[in-house]
Amino acid sequence: MEYDIVIGLEIHAELSTETKIYCSCQNVFGKEVNTKCCPICAGMPGTLPTLNKKVVEYAVKMGKALNCSINRLSKQDRKNYYYPDLPKGYQISQFDIPLCENGYVLVPMPDGVRKIGVTRIHIEEDAGKLVHNDAFVGSLVDMNRCGVPLIEIVSEPDMRSSAEAKAYLETIKQILSSLGISDCKMEEGSIRCDINVSVKPKGEEKFGTRCEMKNVNSFLGAVHAIDYEAARQIKILSEGGVITQETRRWDDHKGESFLLRSKEDAQDYRYFPEPDLRTIEVTDDLINKVEREAKELPNIRLIRYLEKEGLPFDDASLISENEGKSAFFDACLKIKPTHAKVISNWILSDISKRINETGKDISEIGVTPEFLIDLIERVEKKEISVTAGKEVLLAHFETGKSAGEIIAEKGLSQISNEDELLKIAKEVLDNNLKLIDDYKNGKTNLLGFFVGQCMKASKGKGNPSMLSGILAKLISENY
Ligand SMILES: [Zn+2]
């Protein structure tokens, strides 16, 4: 029997605010243990939380980016559970009235755009971290992460493959990064996700029982975890077994998931309204500010490059995920709207190479959209060859001189004079008489070799398409 895989994701993203969500401790990663905490985030009795306004602003930004409706009044709730890294014995989160809900995100993939539903986005505080170390027996608690602000983005169970889940994760990460609300450092745990997976017989409408995998902290880990879990469930079902709802831990090193506990329900957490915090009111001013500051998001830009500019998927995604390259590409398109692909070629080859070599941003390497378009036009008019164009760009990086100056100085103008080309072609053919026989006996791809030899002889300045015609004519008439 064939099965459908059904996937939903809960993404936890740490927000890059200056301070924590309920106290004025610095929100910073990698400091000495227990130096970035205070009585409030350490959960001392008698302390009171104060909500950081920035957290609400960032969450509303994300809500708008994911097309959610924003609840103008929302509240915070206590989620009660015990763990040594949670000194208060509860986490302040949002239960029945989250800040944002009922949204969606468009996720571009090579074979089309997916629309993935976003159930809700709520704010909450992070817990501390347990430190295990060979230097001591047992575990110690580091409270630096207690009270770091998080948003949790809960998707609808709309994904049907690990590839879709990965594309969704990448899109969410790019949006967070483009909004500047999270540093998105996966290796520091800034983005973590819980993955819900179930399977059902192909075509069946009713979803199967789902299992949740906790704390997956890399995109590749998510792909492996989903594929592993789907295979595990399909094996159980095809052997006549039943899936039990449970929470599992994904072990990236072992490439397996392990039973953590039978799945807890919301009621197990005894949620109740947080009595120490006021209702959150999202004002018109905040909504207006967020709308004013909104710019084109990377996923929407990618779709525009695919659908409007006709770029191949790989080109479009490489440019759209980089703000600098996108701005440069768009500025070039403004001057020369019909040349998307050739502009993209230059950006992704020679310009990207320069960016990688220098470690600088595209705006700092000394090339402007005007220069690139000038160069593209000179190549198009056959004033210079593509090879010479690359040399001009390189010289421009070094000297900042105009394309015209560089071409004149280096004598790069393409030879389009028929007599001159004829002379070069004859010389090449005279030196390759044996190959001309092969060519005449059917090895017609040798023509490319002859053109290459002529290009070499002309130091890259010969006009290759003219040379190709001249060579073919010469061989059939004179050899
Ligand atoms: Zn604190």
DSSP states along 339-361: -HHHHHHHIIIIIHHHHHHHT--
C-alpha span between 82 and 60 (Å, rounded): 30
The answer for residues whose C-beta is within 8 angstroms of residue 137's C-beta and 6 or more apart is none
What is the distance in A from the centroid of ligand 1 to the CA of 376? 56
Distance of CA 108 from the midpoint of ligand 1 (Å): 40
Residue 175 · residue 65 · CB < 8 Å = yes
Cβ distance 192 to 12 under 8 Å? yes
In order of start, what are the domains of the chain with their CATH numbers? Answer: 3-290 (no CATH), 295-410 (no CATH), 418-478 (1.10.10.410)
Q: State in Å: Cα 21 to ligand 1 middle.
A: 9
The DSSP output letter for 458 is T
**What pLDDT shows up at residue 263?**
64
Cα(129) to centroid of ligand 1, in Å? 15
> Tokens standing for 298?
């990377």
What residues are paired with 191 via a beta bridge?
13
How much distance in Å is there from the Cα of 349 to the middle of ligand 1? 48
Segment (H or E) for 3:
strand 3-14
Q: How far apart are CA 15 and CA 25, in angstroms?
A: 14
| Cβ 73 vs Cβ 97: under 8 Å | yes
Q: How far is the CA of 270 from the centre of ligand 1 (A)?
A: 25
How close is the Cα of 40 to the center of ligand 1, in Å? 5
pLDDT cut 90: percent of the chain above it = 78
**Ligand 1 centroid, distance to 94 Cα (angstroms):** 20
Distance 36 CA to ligand 1 centre (A): 7
Instruction: Give backbone dihedrals phi and psi of 292, rounded to 5 degrees, phi first.
Output: -65, -40
CA 47–ligand 1 middle distance (angstroms): 10
Going from the Cα of 62 to the center of ligand 1, the distance in angstroms, rounded, reads 25
What does DSSP assign to residue 365? T
* Cα 93 to averaged position of ligand 1 atoms, centre (Å): 17
Q: How far is the CA of 242 from the centre of ligand 1 (A)?
A: 46
100 vs 120: CA distance, rounded Å: 6
Whether 205 and 40 have beta carbons less than 8 Å apart is answered as: no
Rounded to the nearest angstrom, the distance between the alpha carbon of 81 and the centre of ligand 1 is 20
CA distance 174 to 186: 12
Q: How far is the CA of 29 from the centre of ligand 1 (A)?
A: 14
Q: What is the pLDDT of residue 327?
A: 96
> Could you tell me the two tokens for 327?
């701005």
- pTM listed for this prediction: 0.86
- Supply the angle between the helices 323-335 and 369-380 in degrees, to the nearest 10: 50
**CA 146 / ligand 1 centre spacing (Å):** 8
Question: From ligand 1's centre to the CA of 26, what distance in Å?
Answer: 8
Distance from the alpha carbon of residue 46 to the mean position of ligand 1, in angstroms: 14
- Show the CA angle centred on residue 343, arms to residues 340 and 346, nearest 5°: 150
User: What's the 221 CA to ligand 1 centre distance in angstroms?
Assistant: 32
Q: Give kind and range of the element (H or E) at residue 250.
A: strand 246-251
User: What are φ and ψ of residue 59, in 5° steps?
Assistant: -65, -40
218 Cα to the center of ligand 1, angstroms? 28
Number of H helices, E strands in the chain: 16, 16
- Ligand 1 centroid to 183 CA: how many Å? 20
**Ligand 1: centre distance to CA 27 (Å):** 9
H-helix or E-strand containing 21?
none
Give the E-state strand segments of 23-145 in sequence order: 69-70, 73-74, 77-80, 90-93, 100-109, 112-125, 129-132, 139-142
- Say how many Å lie between the CA of residue 199 and the centre of ligand 1: 43
CB-proximal residues (5 Å) to ion ligand 1: 23, 25, 38, 40-41
Distance (Å) from CA 124 to ligand 1 centroid: 15
How do the pLDDT tens digits run along the chain, 479 residues long?
A: 899 999 999 999 999 999 999 999 999 999 999 999 999 999 999 999 999 999 999 999 999 999 999 999 999 999 999 999 999 999 999 999 999 999 999 999 999 999 999 999 999 999 999 988 888 888 999 999 999 999 999 999 999 999 999 999 999 999 999 999 999 988 888 999 999 999 999 989 999 999 999 879 899 999 999 999 999 999 999 999 999 999 999 888 898 888 888 767 777 899 999 999 999 999 999 999 999 999 999 999 999 999 999 999 999 999 999 999 999 999 999 999 999 999 999 999 999 999 999 999 999 999 999 999 999 999 998 888 888 899 999 999 999 999 999 998 888 887 777 888 899 999 999 999 889 989 988 888 899 999 999 988 888 788 888 889 999 999 888 88
Tell me, in angstroms, the distance from the centre of ligand 1 to residue 143's CA.
9
d(CA 23, ligand 1 centre) in Å = 5
Q: Are 64 and 178 in contact (CB under 8 A)?
A: no
Structure token digits, residue 462: 């010969």
Distance (Å, whole) CA 244 – CA 209: 7
User: Other C-beta atoms within 10 Å of 275: how many?
Assistant: 7
- pLDDT of the residue at 458: 85
For β-strands 149-155 and 191-201, DSSP reports them as unpaired
Give residue 437 CA to ligand 1 midpoint distance, Å: 84
Q: How far is the CA of 145 from the centre of ligand 1 (A)?
A: 9
* Distance from residue 173's CA to the centre of ligand 1 (Å): 27
**What SS3 class is residue 443?**
coil
Please give the pLDDT value at position 323: 92
Query: Cα(425)–Cα(452) distance, rounded to whole angstroms?
Result: 11
Closest CA to 10 of 113, 130, 112, 98: 98
Q: What is the DSSP letter of 2?
A: -
